[in-house]
Structure 1
Amino acid sequence: MPTSTRIKSTRSIALINKLIASSVFILIGSGLFGQPNKRTNHWLFSYNVYLDFSSGYPVERTGCAVDSIAWGSTSSISDTNGNLLFYADGWEVYNKNHQQMAETATPYDGNGTQSALSLPKPGSDSLFYVFTANMGDYVYNQPLNVYHTIDMSLNNGLGGLIDTDTLPGAWDAAEQLSASYFDDKSGYWILMRKYQEDKFAAYRVTNQGVDPNPVLSEAPHRYHTNSNDQGFLKVAYNKKYLVFLYTVWDATSSEIDICRFNNQTGEIEFLYSFALNEIFLGTTYYRTYNGDFSPDSRYLYVGGYLPFYNLAHIFQFDMKFVEDEAAFIASMIKIGEAPAINLQLAPDGKIYCFSSKLLGPADDIVSVINKPGKPGLACDFQPNAFATSIGDIQVPFVNFPPDFLFRFDFEGQCEGDVFSFDPWFFP
């Protein structure tokens, strides 16, 4: 299904009204998935940073209880009206009043790059899962990935833990953790990376719970004995492709894996790898820690971080060439530079690029890609757009299921003109 439908209007606007009415019906009729982007209104991450997108743009708030200086991301989730429910890091879960849910402290080192991910249990209005991912530092420990079940009907709506379980098939999975809803919206895949067995793992989650037996797919070898492959896994919003971004902190192994994804079966097909340092600088300086897709999946954005300069070069890749390695790499355009290591699409349709004080005196600077669906410099990259004043931005960031960030926009006039609809909600 194409991501954009163009329609020539006539003097009669009956067809337009019918189409708009159908679109409204689709949005209202999405049931549990209604207004999914409001689930990402609240961003709470280390160190005590809280951004609230409820007004349509980021507003700083106080109260965030995440105060660990660590390398793992957090996960926050709101209800479909945009009200904060809870948030979590790799160790603890906090309610909307920023109080720890007493039973959720864990002895496990849930400190992977994407250390937590929160989603509703399919078919339930009150139950939620919080999945965790460990570090991949196998010299000192072996990962033990757990997931918590939270019941939001407990404690007068503040929620409470009712179960904690492990994913035994993910005994060597670490760092990367994301999700993708099934096409029929009946459940979703939890996606992870197994490092010692060189496999991609997809766990099926339905109203029956979490299937402990993952769908396994072959992955390229990336096991390191003295360091771990930190970095993010991002799912294209059309659910067709995945990108794994890796950084070993000596900066000699920073690479990007491009994969094809079958959202029906959970199978992941590795296509190819490349490194920004090889194709742009010709050096080993780049660290490719994070990236994100435009909401329409037309473009991939990647930050190539230069640790000696506390600076990142931000690149755009054209996804229409993704099946052709040479053409995809050749499509790369540098759209700007700023102290930015983390990229994340927000509910306002913009991609925010965050610095990190763990890697240099970044002064909590935030840059913005204002129009990520536009090609090249038309994407309107705005370096140093603003700086946060509450808390300190560390390497950890917020981890959201990509399905919660679909939007719906259109361009053009209603009569006598061509206009374009872009379905950014669940297709």
Structure 2
Amino acid sequence: MKRLLLILLALWCTTSAFAQGEASNWYFGFGAGLQFNQATGTVTPVNDGQLTTNEGCASISSSTGELLFYTDGTTVFNRNHQVMDNGTGLFGNSSSTQSAIIVPKPNDINIYYIFTVDTGFPAGSIDSGLNYSEVDITLDGGLGSVTVKNFNLLARCSEKISAVLKDCVDNSVWVVTLASQNGDLNTFDTYHAFQVTDTGVNSTSVKSTFPINISDRRGYLKLSPDGLKMACANMDGTFGTGLLDDVVYLYDFDSQTGIVSNQQTLSISTNSPSPYGLEFSPNNRFLYVHASNNYTAQDASFNDPASHASTLAQFDLEAADIQASEYIVDERQLYRGGLQLGPDGRIYRALSATYNQGIPFLGVINNPNEQGAACNYNHTAIDLFPNLSSQGLPPFDQTLFNLEIDIIQNGQSTTNLDLCDGETYTLISEDIPGATYTWLRDEVVLPETDFDLVVDETGHYELIIDPNTGDCFVEGQAFVTVHDVPVANTPGDLLICDTDNDGFFSFDFVETTAEILDTQDPALFAITYY
């Protein structure tokens, strides 16, 4: 087991300490939003969003979790939910599957790139292709301004886009989309990987061409958090029938070169087989697919929720036969929708009744690293009312969701640790030969340099491991709270009469519990009666 862990550790990397903060605020659908609090592990719906988008959206926050800006691919809103200076007229589209993705400029905390992909719908409309715009967050009093707008990279492309870290040396990022070889046709067979470095966006892509001929732009493209796999949802089927090329293409991705290889084909076995949403589990083992029966505006029953059906499926990428590993997580009357990993390690599912009719909930896969039913899907996990989910959720640089190590190791999927005064606990990681261990409490470096640390004080503890092999740093964290030792206050006497003389007595300890706890928080302290 130790050897296996060392292999995994070499693959874990992040761009900065706990950079998942960049994905702390989501805005999507019809006025909907979520706020992730990494310290408490809570997810809170918010009502201040300004988006009205059927599909595409993107959000970005600071590394510490403060909202910076968000967009539907055409209009950019600042942290005050106002239109950003020069923030209109971007060449995305709210009807594009992944209308936009926001990538911070490597090694520059003030510059962000908004990559946009247009839509070809309705038929005959002009497709603006792949473009990027630049935001300087220091301008307009810190609210940001769009300083470069709609720099064209490809004249035509699909509605698909994803991003992942290239390496931890210069923190450069790959942005990948699907288009034709020269980016000038409306049928697609080539993946273009554009490198974003601290000098800007390289407009010359790394191309990977395959014997495919995709004419339908719709569906998600996702890279795995470790940057080793890529999946492409292809809805290139006959409208309303689910026939003809409704498949997911699965690939290997070389994060050092940007080359895509080893195409495999996966299909959904139900009557709603047209793949749309995609997401990888945090441990990179499972691929989740949200598919539909693909009724569109060309169908008379397009606006009837009863005409739509969807499937949520799981595939085990470590199985000898990946297709045979298909597990149907959920199947019901529902329109298509996106899937997105959250900073809490859960996968969120966008829900929509029809193209134009949203739903006031998000579904959640609570344990996406687990196989089959153990993944624990909750269809109405997040209540968004009065706002609505539609088909899209904001994509991010997938590296943000690469696994952090668990330094608490108490069998609970949380970074919170509660102790009583006088109690100690040992935070621990894998002992990697030759590695350097740096422990911090409340951002102050501690003198301890071993792979474990005994704690007995309240604080935010961080561990940063440098393998000293050229690989990325490994990180873990724990929010430790030390509480006063509980006091059992003496309650008043309870007098019970056996009024029916049957020898049995019924006691209600509700009021007694409150007396015993007094001012102590019942959410933290429990009472057991004997």
TM-score (norm 1): 0.82
Q: Is the 8 A contact 2:308 2:354 kept in 1?
A: no
Aligned length: 390
* 2:174 aligned to which of 182, 186, 189: 189
CA distance in 2, matches of 1:3, 1:165: 48
In the TM superposition, residue 113 of structure 1 has moved relative to its aligned partner by 1.1
For 2:3 and 2:129, the matched residues in 1 are separated by: 39
Aligned equivalents of 1:179 and 1:49: distance in 2?
24
Distance 1:332 1:3, change over 3 A: farther
| Cα deviation, residue 59, structure 1 | 0.9
1:318: which partner in 2? 316
Q: Deviations over 1:104-124 (max 9, x none)?
A: 211635342111111111121
Amino acid at match of 2:124: V
- CA displacement 1:220-258 (0-9 Å, x = unmatched): 43343xxx3311011111211100012245443422111
Is residue 212 from structure 1 mapped to residue 208 from structure 2 by the alignment? no
CA gap of 1:151–1:419, structure 2 versus 1, over 3 A, is closer
The reply to whether residue 300 of structure 1 matches residue 292 of structure 2 is no
The answer to whether the 8 Å contact 2:29/2:52 transfers is yes
Distance 2:36 2:431 in 1: 26
Query: 1:78 touches 1:86 (CA, 8 Å); kept in 2?
Result: yes
Please, which of 97, 103, 106 is the counterpart of residue 122 of structure 1?
A: 106
Q: Which runs of 5+ in 1 are unaligned?
A: 7-21
How far does the alpha carbon of each residue in 1:120-151 deviate from its partner, in whole angstroms, 9 at most, with x for none? 11121211111101114473223332211111
CA distance in 2 between partners of 1:105 and 1:81 (Å): 27
Show the counterpart of 2:146: 161
Distance 1:420 1:246 in 2: 44
- Partner in structure 2 of residue 19 of structure 1: none
Q: Is it true that 1:353 corresponds to 2:344 in the alignment?
A: no
Which structure has more helix as a fraction of its residues?
1
The aligned counterpart of 1:203 is: 194
Contact 1:412 1:418 in 2 (8 A): no
- Checking the alignment, whether the CA contact within 8 Å between 2:350 and 2:363 is kept in structure 1 is yes
Task: Report 1 or 2 for greater relative contact order, CA contacts < 8 Å, sequence distance ≥ 6.
Answer: 1
Name whichever of 117-126 and 191-200 sits farther off: 191-200
- Aligned twin of 1:399: 395
Q: Which residue of 2 aligns with 1:231?
A: 219
Letter in 1 for 2:60: I
Q: Alignment partner for residue 269 of structure 1, among 261, 264, 274?
A: 261
> C-alpha separation between the residues in 2 aligned to 1:96 and 1:371?
31
| 2:84 is aligned with 1:84 | no
Structure 2 Cα separation of the partners of residues 56 and 92 of structure 1: 31
| Change beyond 3 A, Cα 1:62–1:418 | closer
Q: Following the alignment from structure 1 to structure 2, what is the Cα–Cα distance between the partners of residues 310 and 57? A: 32
Q: Which residue of 1 aligns with 2:443?
A: none
Question: What corresponds to 1:13 in structure 2?
Answer: none
Whether the 8 Å contact between 1:36 and 1:403 is mirrored in structure 2 is no
Relative to structure 2, which stretch is displaced further, 176-185 or 136-145? Answer: 136-145
1:370 equivalent among 366, 373, 379: 366
Please tell me the residue identity of whatever aligns with 1:385: A
- 2-structure distance, mates of 1:3, 1:51: 39
Structure 1 residue 270 displacement after superposition: 4.6
The DSSP-based 3-state class of the residue aligned with 2:218 is coil
Code of the aligned partner of 2:70? Y
**CA distance in structure 2 between the aligned counterparts of 1:154 and 1:131, rounded to whole angstroms:** 20
Unaligned runs of 5+ in 2: 296-305, 412-424, 433-463, 465-471, 475-530
Q: Deviations over 1:370-427 (max 9, x none)?
A: 1111122111222322431032212222111111223424345889x99999x9x976
Counterpart code for 2:279 = D
Q: Secondary structure at the match of 2:364?
A: strand
Q: Does 1:242 align with 2:230?
A: yes
Using the alignment, how far apart are the partners of 1:34 and 1:223 within structure 2?
Answer: 40
Using the aligned pairs only, state the percent identity: 24
What RMSD, in angstroms, separates the aligned Cα atoms of the two structures?
3.2
